[in-house]
Amino acid sequence: MESTADKHYFETKIALTEEPLTAATRLAAAGLHADYMVYENAGRWSYAGGALAEITLDRNGARLRHTEEVLLPWDGRPLQQVERLLESVRVAGWRAYGWAAFELSYAKEGDLSHIEDERLLHLVVPQTEILLDDGVAHLRSADPQTLAAALEALSREGVPHPDRPVAVDVQQVGAEEYRKAVASAVRDIQDQKLQKVIFSRVVPVEDEIDLVDTYLVGRRGNSPARSFLLNMGGVEAAGFSPEIVVQVDDQGRVTSQPLAGTRALTQDPAENLRLRTELLADPKEVYEHAISVKIGWDELIEVCEPGTVDVVEFMTVKERGSVQHLASRVSGQLASGRHAWDAFGAVFPAVTASGVPKDAAYASIRSHESELRGLYSGAVLTVEQGGAMDAALVLRAVYRQNGRTWLRAGAGIVGQSLPDREFEETCEKLGSVARFLVPAV
Strands of 196-204's sheet in order across: 10-15, 136-141, 128-133, 44-49, 36-41, 226-232, 235-241, 397-401, 404-413, 196-204, 355-356
Tally Cβ neighbours within 10 Å of residue 41.
17
How many CB atoms are located within 10 Å of the residue 2 CB? 12
Q: Which amino acid is at 243?
A: E
413, 182 in Cβ contact below 8 A?
yes
Q: What is the largest CA-CA distance in the chain?
A: 64
Check if the beta carbon of residue 391 is closer than 8 Å to that of residue 246.
yes
Distance CA 88, CA 64 (A): 9
Beta-carbon-side half-sphere exposure of residue 222 (alpha carbons within 13 Å): 33
DSSP-assigned beta bridge partners for residue 232: 235
Count the Cβ atoms, other than its own, within 10 Å of residue 51.
22
Spatial contact of 54 and 123, defined as CB atoms under 8 Å apart: yes
- Whole-number Å distance between alpha carbons of 181 and 407: 19
Instruction: Please tell me which residue in 40, 54, 243, 428 is annotated as part of the active site.
Output: 243
243 is catalytic: yes
Known catalytic residues? 243
